[in-house]
Structure 1
Amino acid sequence: MTKDMDIDFKVNSPLGTEQFIGLLVGSTLGERRPVNDSVCMQGMLDNANLIVSAWQGDQLVGIARSMTDFHYACYLSDLAVHENYQKLGIGKRLQALTQEQLGPLCKLILIAAPAANGYYEQLGYSHNDRCWVKEQATGV
């Protein structure tokens, strides 16, 4: 892929569950998401209130999926760019467009995959070791 390709960025544009799953699988984020559970994946799309997507024609090539109050906190749950489109600035643009939708005091919060720590640091994110995650109990 070349940097002169036409990528269209859209805010809260409809997209299908299969498109979303295909992108996650093609970006390796699918390794850490329930891509075999289409009900869960559809719920992830339906209940996000801010989705910025990147398209080449009708192909979804990137996504920033968030839940936010638009004023104080925005949890960027999924940032994914298809492997064939990485290192072209698409992820950086998805984050910038996400921030443009938010109020001036709103913090962008995410949990990074260990291999991505250096990426976020170079974009101006600060590391916070106070994050806690509680998984749902299974078999209860």
Structure 2
Amino acid sequence: MSIVYAREDHLGADEYIDVVRKSGLNRPIEDRGRVERMLAHANLIVTARQDGRLVGFARSLTDFCFCCYLSDLAVDRECQGKGIGKRLIEETRREAGGPKTTTLLLSAPTAMSFYEGIRMPKADNCFLYRREA
């Protein structure tokens, strides 16, 4: 399986929705307008493609020098367990400014074991207001 990783300036809603469905990530994909706004305002999207087909992506908001919020990490279930998610995080960190940039993500409870498995550092100093919708 040859995977090509790339930073892409634009990711279409159809591809995003398809991979979200196939990954199990909980996102509001029934609200296409919201998905389109999410994609339009993300300023760092890293993709994983197999023979041109999107199989994973990382969608982030960053200033490229100090902080990066990795909001979405999704990999098609058929491709999970092959290092794609870990590599998407590595590529995101590199694109966002490398070791001088803090990369933060909030994990779904069901994904905690993945992040622990790749030895992503865990924070205990995070505060947040949760989405109401």
| TM-score normalised to structure 2 length | 0.90
Q: Which residue does the alignment assign to 1:100? A: 94
Tell me, yes or no, if structure 1 residue 112 matches structure 2 residue 112: no
State the alpha-carbon separation in 2 of the partners of residues 121 and 136 from structure 1: 25
Give 1:10 shift. Answer: 1.3
CA RMSD of superposed structures (Å): 1.7
Q: Which residue does the alignment assign to 2:70? A: 76
- Is the deviation greater in 81-90 or in 114-123? 114-123
Give 1:74 shift. Answer: 0.5
- Is the deviation greater in 12-21 or in 104-113? 12-21
Q: Which residue does the alignment assign to 1:126? A: 121
Q: Which aligned segments of 4 or more residues in structure 1 are displaced greater than 3 angstroms? A: 135-138
Tell me, yes or no, if structure 1 residue 15 matches structure 2 residue 11: yes
State the alpha-carbon separation in 2 of the partners of residues 59 and 96 from structure 1: 20
Residues 31-110 of structure 1 aligned to structure 2 (within 5 Å): 32-103=26-97, 104-110=99-105
State the alpha-carbon separation in 2 of the partners of residues 136 and 33 from structure 1: 12
- Is the deviation greater in 12-21 or in 92-101? 12-21
State the alpha-carbon separation in 2 of the partners of residues 34 and 102 from structure 1: 25
Larger radius of gyration: 1
Q: Residues 109 and 136 (structure 1 numbering): CA distance in 2 closer, same or farther, change over 3 Å?
A: closer
| TM-score normalised to structure 1 length | 0.86
Give 1:120 shift. Answer: 1.4
Structure 2 residues without counterparts, runs of 5 or longer: none
Q: Which amino acid aligns with 2:3?
A: I
Contact 1:13/1:53, CA 8 A, preserved across alignment: no
Q: 2:126 is paired with a residue of what secondary structure?
A: coil
> What is the aligned length?
132
Give 1:137 shift. Answer: 5.8
